[in-house]
């Protein structure tokens, strides 16, 4: 996929991404990755919220899929 096609695709998604579902899925991926995932994060990446707080979003079945 060339840059122009990718840019067009991203622009078409504008306003159509379910933020809550995206954040919930991203949080679940981070939890699953654990320490192995943390080792892959590039230096200088902004810190995330502490995991002691618990999940920010409740885990629910995603009706989209």
Report yes or no on 39 lying in a domain.
yes
**Model confidence pLDDT, tens digit, residues 23-54:** 888 888 878 887 777 777 778 877 765 555 55
Per the structure, how many domains does the chain have? Answer: 1
Report yes or no on 36 lying in a domain.
yes
The Cα-based distances of 41 to 34, 47, 64 in angstroms read: 11, 10, 29
Select from 23, 13, 11 the least CA-distant residue to 56: 23
Per the structure, the complete domain to which residue 35 belongs is given by 3-53
pTM over 0.75: no
């Amino acid at each position: 996929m060339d840059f122009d096609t990718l840019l067009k695709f991203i622009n078409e998604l504008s306003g159509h991404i379910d933020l809550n579902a995206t954040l919930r899925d991203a949080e679940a991926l981070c939890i699953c990755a654990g320490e192995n995932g943390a080792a892959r994060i590039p230096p200088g990446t902004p810190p995330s919220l502490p995991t002691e707080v618990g999940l920010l979003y409740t885990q629910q079945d995603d009706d989209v899929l």
